[in-house]
């Protein structure tokens, strides 16, 4: 049976962030994820997780100036020191919060930087981060993101991510496979997941078009959920979608799973 984590960056966003933990638990979720924990003391977040019986399954490395439009700095030459400091900060938070997976956002390729230099920078940064996270008992993930929603995002296809992992030589880097992003970039969802199941540590979902909840678009989620069970996917599935209305109103698709 699929296990779903509420993405608190996207869901229950009609209330302040710290109130979303309670709402997620009330809706039946046993786990949550979100982009970044760094605006809050780790102990405060830990208290909320404990209070509401939730597991935090994922957050990201620091990703540059998000408000200014940066979407990660993994592929940005000249910012290795900032990246490395972010790795240490992420490990400190994850250790307190019990997180076993951290995602590295590759970022938008900077203007004037060649594809080769961006790739080399990302590989070097991953080579630095992977063993540090492994020593802390944490998997490092990288996520292909569609270039329609984020033009210029450097990492945008499954095979590209797999090739980069090979080039790092690390056994502690995995793919965060977002079904919505890869539907937009590639399609062939089921077979891609099955073929690369050993390197996919986390899934995320939204429907297309609109990035709304399952059942609102073209992706056959009942089929995919049954398929994931059949092939033995054991990880979490993060619900990283924009609710078409209130979050609870659109949770009908998940009730069978949340009641387990």
Handedness of CA 211, 212, 218, 219 (dihedral sign): positive
Tell me which of 22, 188, 194, 240 is the catalytic residue: 240
**Active-site residue, 70 included:** no
Residue 72, CB-side half-sphere exposure with 13 Å CA sphere: 27
Whether 145 contacts 181, CB under 8 Å: yes
Asked whether the beta carbons of 107 and 76 are under 8 A apart, the reply is: yes
Residue 143 is a catalytic residue: yes
What are the angstrom distances between the C-alpha of 35 and each of 56, 71, 200? Answer: 11, 11, 19
At 66, give phi and psi (nearest 5°): -60, -45
199: three-class secondary structure by DSSP: helix
Q: Using alpha carbons, list the distances in angstroms from residue 178 to 82, 106, 142, 154, 166.
A: 26, 14, 11, 15, 20
Q: Which of 22, 115, 143, 213 is catalytic?
A: 143
User: Residues with catalytic annotation?
Assistant: 143, 240
């Amino acid at each position: 049976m699929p296990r779903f984590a509420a993405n608190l960056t996207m869901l229950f966003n009609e209330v302040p962030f710290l109130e979303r933990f309670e709402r997620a638990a009330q809706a039946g979720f046993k786990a949550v994820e979100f982009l970044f924990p760094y605006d809050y003391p780790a102990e405060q977040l830990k208290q909320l997780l404990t209070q509401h019986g939730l597991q935090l399954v994922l957050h990201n490395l620091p990703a540059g100036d998000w408000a200014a439009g940066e979407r990660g700095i993994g592929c940005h030459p000249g910012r290795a020191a900032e990246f490395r400091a972010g790795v240490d900060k992420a490990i400190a938070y994850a250790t307190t919060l019990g997180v076993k997976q951290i995602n590295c956002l590759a970022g938008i390729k900077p203007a004037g930087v060649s594809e080769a230099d961006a790739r080399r920078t990302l590989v070097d940064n991953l080579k630095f981060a992977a063993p540090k996270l492994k020593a802390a008992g944490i998997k490092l993930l990288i996520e292909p993101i569609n270039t329609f929603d984020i033009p210029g995002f450097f990492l945008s296809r499954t095979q590209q991510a797999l090739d980069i992992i090979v080039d790092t030589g690390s056994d502690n880097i995995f793919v965060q496979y977002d079904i919505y992003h890869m539907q937009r970039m590639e399609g062939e969802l089921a077979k891609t997941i099955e073929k690369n199941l050993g390197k996919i540590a986390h899934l995320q979902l939204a429907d297309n078009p609109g990035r709304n909840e399952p059942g609102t678009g073209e992706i056959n989620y009942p089929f995919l959920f049954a398929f994931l069970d059949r092939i033995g996917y054991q990880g979490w599935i993060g619900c990283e979608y924009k609710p078409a209305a209130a979050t609870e109103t659109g949770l009908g698709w998940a009730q069978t799973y949340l009641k387990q």
